[in-house]
Structure 1
Amino acid sequence: MKKSNSEHEFITLLGRFFTEYLPVSVNASPNTIASYKCAFRLLFQYLDEETEIKIGYITFEVLDFDLLTKYFDWLITSRKNSRATAKQRLAALASFADYSESRNLEAAYIFKNSLKKISKKTFRKVKSKPRNSFTREELAVLFSLPDTTEKLGWRDLVLLSVMYSSGARAQEICNLTVKDVMHDEKGNAILTLVGKGEKSRRVKITSDATQLLDKYIATRKISMKPDAHIFPSQRNEHLSVAAIEEIYEKYTQKAKEEHPNLFCRGPYTPHVMRHTTATHLIEAGVPLAIVKNILGHTSIQTTQIYLDISQQTVDRSMEQWNEKWFSKNNPDENTLPQEENGIPDFLK
């Protein structure tokens, strides 16, 4: 059977959506693109297994309300997807519908409006999980737990402090290298963080966190190695996200055992620390637009004032927050672990 123009159009637009629009025009992160691809693979799987429609013959017209409703029912009943996960699949399809409508309004009209009806009918009661954050009392406990006389404990305190001070994502901390750490005229560290979609931003951290970070780099003797990752694991040059998650789990479990009245709203993941940073910044009076800049958030709701914020304004707001809220956790330099290798630096 020869394919019609409408069949060619759907596949052609879908291909451009994934190869041009998402990675280039939108600069979507690899994780977002992978999630969107999964949604369409599942749609194709449903069409192949449950209908007589083959992938090469999909058109916008066949993706009507009835078919798409059955697809999402299949996701929830047969695939055992949660309603929240199914809603994420719908968001992927809706993004493609918006893209397609701007290129062929008539063809994509039924597809887009069917998704809107399903969103209102099926997913209007699906709510995001409430965001969690550490209290200041919990932070004080958390920062007191790492044993800074041990290499791993010393690393963990610096990692926790830098994540709180910067609001960095776990992956951004994994990727952080010596060359990503600069200093301003006052000596405070400025981190270059590469976030979602390979977008970089500069974040100034607190003076206390700077002292910890500088001492840590010095004790590791990597200050002259610009490509060295700052936070290593026991076996590899840098940590993984899973390893950072284990660090948080380790200390929050220990904290819960020692303080059963605290840490009652878990689980406490690295992202909770990021949310804590945002919460404390807002409580300190830092404008929401600046908080978005510091955290590297982007969305269609981002305002023009956020886009026009200068780095100087961001630095000034961070300094004000630093002086007001950041707790001091600076161990005695004499107790810090030293490298056991006695080979002089000039021979390495």
Structure 2
Amino acid sequence: MYKEKGIEADKITFDKLDYKTLTDFFTWIESVRGCSASTKNQRLSAVASFSAYAQNQDFAAASIFRNSVNKIPVKKTQHKQRVILSRQEVTILLALPNENRAIGFRDKILLSLMYASGARAQEICDLTVGKLQFHEKGATLNIRGKGGKSRRIGIPTACAVLLRQYIDHRKIKSKPERHIFSSQTHEQMTVSCVEGIFKKYVTIAKKDNPSMFIANSYPPHSMRHTTASHMLEAGVPLVVIKNFLGHASLKSTEIYAEISQNTVNKHLKEWNEKWFPNNVEERKTPQISNEIPDFLD
């Protein structure tokens, strides 16, 4: 308001928040600020919530504001295609870090845990020694997710062994408050650091395997999508995946059913092309190498 109309924040009254002013604002955040339609919708939702509260406090004063907000439509957004790694791509990615170097060993455990747990990058960064319980069948993680909601998830024995080795290597086993993953500058690794690590190995994988890793980008969250998709393909019920991922609603998990079907269709197409080529003489027995990493068995 101040930048475009010269109105200071403490001078804004409800009568100034009319339809034109509000539509000018939402046009400004898209055209000048470069915000996406999704961000615009989030801002509109916040303004709508405030207008409802304001009207409850002073109906007459806030009515114009509330009515103006209700006239502004939600903008349609394009559905983002979730990036899913194949099992072979996961195997390649997890084999890249050099375990003989301290940073490589850390990166190996980080990527492995992301796949085994399906946890968000921030949840991985927040993990401390005290939130781990090791047992014969693997380990249990106490994860604090979105909205402060906690959940307990298990990881398989092989991944738990790697994690225990890493904790012993760092000599933090008796320090429950210490974070599992740290960077060269911070005791607790940041999400941006995780993004950098993930990007580093995906870039190497793309270069070494030009026919694979064909998506434009692979953010760390793609590993979470990958875990969920692979669980579904393995026959794990959606409701179990929902609890494993910490989704508030089953609707958030159901998207993986669609993704999984797309994956099935892709594999069927590839299978048919291998078994039924145009030239019968070219027909070869397909060689499929799509095994899940041994440490997750």
SS in 2 for 1:226: coil
Match of 2:105 in 1: 154
Unaligned runs of 5+ in 2: 254-290
State the 1:286 CA deviation: 3.0
Partner residue in 1 for 2:129: 178
> Residue 84 of structure 1 is aligned with which of 38, 46, 49?
38
Is the Cα contact below 8 Å between 1:179 and 1:227 reproduced in 2?
A: yes
- The 5-angstrom pairing of residues 132-147 of structure 1 reads 132-147=83-98
Query: Which residue among 287, 291, 304 is the counterpart of 2:237?
Result: 287
Opposite residue 162 of structure 1, the aligned amino acid is L
SS state at 2:180 partner:
coil
Residue in structure 2 matching 1:63, options 5, 17, 20: 17
Alpha-carbon shift at residue 102 of structure 1 (Å):
6.1
Note if contact 2:114-2:224 (Cα within 8 Å) is conserved in structure 1. yes
Check the 8 A contact 2:106/2:166 in 1, yes or no: yes
Deviations 1:87-136 (A, max 9, x none): 3322322333455566666765654453343224xx12x22422212121
CA distance in 1, matches of 2:6, 2:250: 38
CA RMSD of aligned residues (A): 2.9
> Does the 8 Å contact 2:14/2:61 carry over to 1?
yes
Equivalent position of 1:327 in the other structure: 293
Is 1:258 aligned with 2:208? yes
Residue 50 (structure 1) aligned with residue 16 (structure 2): no
Contact 1:143 / 1:329 at 8 angstroms: preserved in 2?
no
SS state of the match for residue 142, structure 2?
A: strand
**What SS is found at the alignment partner of 2:151?**
strand
Question: 2:242 touches 2:250 (CA, 8 Å); kept in 1?
Answer: no
Alignment deviations for residues 157-182 of structure 1 (CA, whole Å, 9 cap, x no partner): 11111111111121221221111101
Q: 2:179 aligns with which of 229, 238, 250?
A: 229
Looking at structure 2, the residues matched to 52 and 169 of structure 1 have their Cα atoms a distance apart, in angstroms, of 42
2:144 corresponding residue in structure 1? 194
Instruction: Give how far 1:228 is off.
Output: 2.2
TM-score by length of 1: 0.65
Read off the aligned partner of 1:206 and give its amino acid letter.
P
Letter of the structure 1 residue corresponding to residue 162 of structure 2: L
Cα distance in 1 between the residues matched to 2:72 and 2:191: 35
Decide whether aligned partners of structure 1 residues 189 and 113 sit closer, same or farther in structure 2, where only a CA change above 3 A counts: farther
- Of 82, 87, 103, the match for 1:131: 82
Question: Which residue matches 1:216?
Answer: 166
The residue identity in structure 1 corresponding to 2:101 is E
Q: Structure 1's 160 and 302: CA in aligned 2 closer, same or farther, altered over 3 A? A: closer
Question: Does residue 1:94 correspond to 2:44, yes or no?
Answer: no
Specify the SS of the correspondent of 2:211. coil
Aligned mates of 2:61, 2:123 — CA distance in 1 = 41
Give 1:278-317 correspondences, 5 Å limit. Answer: 278-298=228-248
Structure 2 CA distance, aligned partners of 1:290 and 1:197?
Answer: 20
Aligned residue type for 1:241: V
For residues 302 and 260 of structure 1, the distance between their equivalents in structure 2, rounded to whole angstroms, comes to 32
State the partner residue of 1:245: 195
The 5 A counterparts of 1:107-118 are 110-118=64-72
- Structure 1 residues 82 and 217: CA distance shift in structure 2, 3 A: same
* Correspondence 1:73 to 2:27: yes
SS at match of 1:119: coil
CA contact (8 A) 2:91 2:292 kept: no
Hey, what's the Cα distance between the residues in 2 that align with 1:281 and 1:162? 15
- Tell me, which stretches of 5 or more residues in structure 1 are unaligned? 1-46, 304-324, 331-348
Identical counterparts, % of pairs: 44
